[in-house]
Structure 1
């Protein structure tokens, strides 16, 4: 994987760059739709390519390991061949999912033992095993196995968790560097910064992972319950240390406002389930603000979903029609809302990129964060 930093905004730390993988190029800043089990929920690959214009999607190691299972994925020739997606894929290592199974898992130096949420069967993830699993899935970018501490962790727990993540990282890197891809393309390994909401821990973790000199780095353990101002503070601390010539991936974040603020702090890559999850429940993100499409006020509104028509479907379907679909419990409603939201997110990061390149990002961002938070 190669990364070229093309321009940095003069009034902020926002950056525009380009990542090159064997499955294609990715223009940053970029948002990655989440395809947890190998599909972006309710969205056809063709719509991801042509409507959403997604450049890279994310799959999840924990879920893909359980279903369809490694034997199916290996026999298929990897996730790209299994789901028909020809562009880059990134896989989350499963650390966050194991964290969310706090009542079903046990952590130790070796790794994490957990019970499947599907059938209660017991499994073990180790740093080495997670590398092997992601080799089999065949993602272009694979993540280190880490522990994601809760947002309200105390200093002692956060410090012990960070050091465990660091020890796991060394083992994961050793495994990655001593193995080869299973398919006919290269893979890249990203370490993850942890440290909860403590600047001194985040600084220590960023310095530790930066020393490995990998092709990219990630920031984990944020948007897990801590206040937004703490999240932004941690991002600023970490990005002051992580190498400028490597992409920076903020995991699991977030709202459109979160994304613009994080871009201004020097983040390049994002993922979040919010566009599809909230879309399925009738929440639409638009350039004018946030819409709950199920509200009565949209019943007679025949205007486009987003007046700027960032999604071509917005020019076809009105707010009134989309509301009708939701009220009627027609499955097309959540699908159209998900496509709209994903298209909007990709437009947003694409517009941020354009503004960075032309030198107008900061003023535009300051105006947009106020607009995007309005409830319409």
Structure 2
């Protein structure tokens, strides 16, 4: 039986979906280091991870039989996407499933920081009654600056406006403003007017260190700062200085450059112990609702790819979905280098061996091409092997419909 390995405790709703597709589900509660992961992937077709497991080129090279990787989270920077694509390993994530959960955490933290609830809470836990309005404000009428206007940034924009906040945003891509949100021409323009700055950019390598001393200097005196995106984006040493000297009134941080591999491991940060600073252990999307949605969404994507070759919403190979034809007996999925004439050569090979094409779709992404072909006739093994041996072939799989003869799956 084929195996699916799930690390870091994705929601258990994933298990029955994978099991129903014929996979033996094996779980490990934490992240695995490189050598441990290579060993654990022996005989595994589908790998499921969250944010801490690093799927490196070395791991992928050692386990070329791996079919697909599912990131049960939004980010995929922990996976070498190009190395996976070059080996015909599709990668899927859950880009929308926990958006609301992250937005709600951000809103809660904006209110808590603006009202200085952390300071009031700490005083009472220490046995000190300190009833005061000093430094406490309503969020209504204040300006929220959103850096990164994607799925999370746009929804945060809408919810913040509903609370009466003015919203400004900056994004390197051209984005349509929602509601009354105002696009700013540069990050510096945004930082000059925002009472609260919230960072929601992706984890691409070019964004590393994007928010440092220069950006903190440009923020309004007394503003607050949130990072619920990636830990390596921000200079937390400078953030500490700005909190301690009073330049910033508070901060909320959910992500860190280095995070423990499992629950219970020690944690340290220069932000520990600071006044009006909220630290959370990368739980932006960790609600029961979000994790359930993610578990279902990613498991379904993995199964559909394994069964039908559908790459809809894949993050590293061309995105294709071909509805199955009633007359099709075989489905051939073919990932190849994006070279002119490959499709014509494939179809010529099928025709020469008497295979009848019932349906076909082609997509390209950079150096990759992907073809899904339904065959309604017999599919001679010679045709399959001829395509497999083509110079530009990366990976070829043949799936047999139940009513077709058995024993023909060349996965």
TM class, shorter-chain normalised?
under 0.3
Larger Rg: 2
Query: Higher relative contact order by CA 8 Å / sep ≥ 6: 1 or 2?
Result: 1
Task: Pick the structure with more helix per residue.
Answer: 1
- TM-score, length of structure 1 as denominator length: 0.28
- TM-score, length of structure 2 as denominator length: 0.26
